[in-house]
Chains A and B, each alone.
Chain A
């Protein structure tokens, strides 16, 4: 690692205080990444590397004391900067805008201090005159900053390069096109005779933005890096660059744009991913609950004929016995029939127990988040139905113990039903309200709608499976919801008409969940 830092310094170091064509200091980025990845204890390596560079590359630069002082300054300040960046939580792959902004801010301030101190040492030792100092410090600052903004995020990206390589292999045409566009823009900016140096520099933003949108942070930073490298090549080829500091600032802007834009895209992609995952989890849980309710309803419906069948068979056995003289195989066959009917009944019981026994997660669920999450999921449907959803949750509402996904399913069902209900009333009066309050021992959520309400006939059996007022419903939503709520000792009830004239569903969730929920099965303990 000492060698790594050493080589890095050797390879990239340019005379910082003399008018140089390199607009950046990649060693700054390398050093910071090096210290961030390996920790403070490698600071001496940085000091040694800095000293060696000074001695080997420009021995005429100053006295031994100056070299020692400047190397120590660089080592210590970079170690401090690395620690600050780490403590800001901006270490590792940058994925959020906040992390990118913190990182950029720390880099701006850190490199300014480093540049001032570094130039200050040379001024103090008399190696640099004061007139040049300000310009030198500014250049040094921009060069370091540029190097850090470009290299450090890339070097600390870590671990995810395998996926990136796969993407490059799959989408190589697009990447080649982007690379070609970068090249074309660079030619326009620096080679075209009509281009009065840097006037067309802004063209470079086009490919960088394109790449950032497509490939997020690493892609954007790589693109800027490529531009930088080509620029160095161009600089070596004696392309005239009259306003050196302008070029530096332009490159800096490009780096910052790439960094922030990449972070924005990454953050949004991750949020979308989370939403997709949550929806998928919800759909899975819902499917399971539907299967459970189906199994339960099926068990009930099939047990009736099986019970009748068994009774008839036993009756036949008794009759055959009484009649006498019947073929003994009849008795035998009847006994077998009884066994089979019993087996069918047992299978049903097991099926139902399987679906009922599942999921007993008990974790604190924040009611405010729960309501906001469900409301968020319905934004699109609410807009389409032109209905308003008002949420009023007591800010001091306590958390409840339970499985968040199950509670989501319940609220989802209630709000979803409310949206369908208000579809039957004229525009302008389609209102839904979600209230969250708490009593001493329970949290109470209420969903009111301004729909046509529930007829008293339907209200009686609303929570039974296969009962629905919808034309395209299975009639399982409320049955499932009530099962889920009761499983954790709560209650779900319906009043009609409610506050808004339509249905009103009240969900009562006790703060203390009983250890033996009510829906425990008798059959399960046979």
Chain B
């Protein structure tokens, strides 16, 4: 959690300065931006942490910033802080994917709780992304035969059935399976099946997303 930062975006200098001071005194790292545009201009994909943004700002509004982040595939959790709280804006912000909605002036303990929660969400998102990336990297090292064996394993086929389908001897299937498990760094069959299912689920989800995107376009 050490490299996580709270990115404070507010067009009021006093507000962003005091917030960053308070956040840093509470032991979190804070970084300030005077506008959403400023943040987007220097944003780096490797940044970790969460956003604490005002809704109503001179240029791009908090809601527009959320849209931009989603378009760019930025997964940083967003906490919205506003001086003009009304139900409609709050609903819009939360619908847009904000993890929380706070009203100015905000109680510092509540603020820190909300920020810690946002950072935890970021940590989880990050961990799952990393794991997914690792798995993808390992899968990519498999040969097509090994990948077929993995697929059959997820389908619950026996070694003999696999041999019949691939028209090879059960012994060869045994060799492919051993190599595949070695490359995936798995020791148990259960682990292999889990990774295989995850990969398949991710692939299906991607296919659905593409279909939806195509449909909406």
Contacts and interface: CB of A to CB of B under 8 A. Distances in A.
B203 interface: no
Interface stretch (B9-17, B114-122, B169-177): B9-17
B18 A308 contact: yes
Interface in A301-348: 303-312, 314-315, 318-319, 341-342, 345
Given A304-B14, A304-B15, A305-B14, A311 B108 contact: yes
Contact of B87 (A296, A345, A521): A521
A308 B22 CA distance: 10
Interface residues of A, number: 26
Contacts of B87: 518-522
A300 interface: yes
B19 A311 contact: yes
Interface stretch (B37-45, B78-86, B153-161): B78-86
B104 A303 contact: yes
Interface string A494-526: 000000000000000000000000111111000
B28 interface: no
Nearest to B11: A304
A319 B14 contact: no
Nearest to B90: A522
Nearest to B16: A308
B106 interface: yes
B123 interface: no
A308 B15 contact: yes
A349 to B, nearest CB: 9
Contact of A307 (B26, B86, B88, B106): B106
Contacts of B88: 518-519
Nearest to B24: A315
A300 B21 contact: no
B105 interface: yes
Contacts of B12: 304-305, 308
Contacts of A310: 18, 105, 108
B22 A314 contact: yes
Contacts of B100: none
A308 B14 contact: yes
A245 B90 CA distance: 86
A300 B25 CA distance: 27
A227 B170 CA distance: 133
A213 B52 CA distance: 72
B25 A345 contact: no
A319 B24 CA distance: 11
B22 A307 contact: no
Chain B interface size, as a band, is: 20 to 34
B19 A519 contact: no
B151 interface: no
Contacts of B25: 315, 318-319
B18 A341 contact: no
A315 B15 contact: no
Nearest to A523: B85
A307 B85 CA distance: 14
A319 B106 CA distance: 19
B12 to A, nearest CB: 4
Contacts of A304: 12, 14-15, 83, 104
Nearest to B12: A304
Interface string A422-463: 000000000000000000000000000000000000000000
Given A304-B12, A308-B12, A518-B88, A523 B17 contact: no
Given A303-B104, A522-B103, A311 B86 contact: no
A308 B83 CA distance: 11
A162 B49 CA distance: 80
A345 B105 contact: yes
Given A303-B83, A311-B108, A523 B103 contact: yes
Nearest to A310: B105
A523 B105 CA distance: 12
A319 B56 CA distance: 31
A308 B15 CA distance: 4
A348 B12 CA distance: 19
A311 B56 CA distance: 19
A296 B14 CA distance: 21
A303 B105 contact: yes
A314 to B, nearest CB: 5
B86 A519 contact: yes
Contacts of A303: 83-84, 104-105
A490 to B, nearest CB: 13
Nearest to A297: B84
B83 A300 contact: yes
Nearest to A519: B86
Interface in A245-297: 296
B85 A311 contact: no
Given A300-B84, A521-B86, A311 B103 contact: no
Nearest to A352: B84
B83 A311 contact: no
Among A307, A518, A522, which residue has the most Cβ atoms of chain B within 10 A?
A307
Contacts of A314: 22, 108
B100 to A, nearest CB: 13
29 contacts: A300-B56, A300-B84, A304-B12, A304-B15, A304-B104, A305-B14, A306-B104, A307-B83, A307-B104, A308-B14, A308-B17, A309-B14, A309-B105, A310-B108, A311-B18, A311-B21, A312-B18, A314-B22, A314-B108, A315-B18, A315-B21, A315-B25, A318-B25, A318-B26, A519-B86, A520-B86, A522-B86, A522-B90, A523-B85
Given A303-B105, A318-B22, 11 more contacts: A299-B83, A307-B83, A307-B106, A308-B15, A308-B17, A311-B18, A311-B105, A518-B87, A519-B87, A521-B86, A522-B85
- Nearest 7 Cβ contacts at the A-B interface: A308-B14, A311-B18, A307-B104, A307-B105, A303-B83, A522-B85, A308-B18
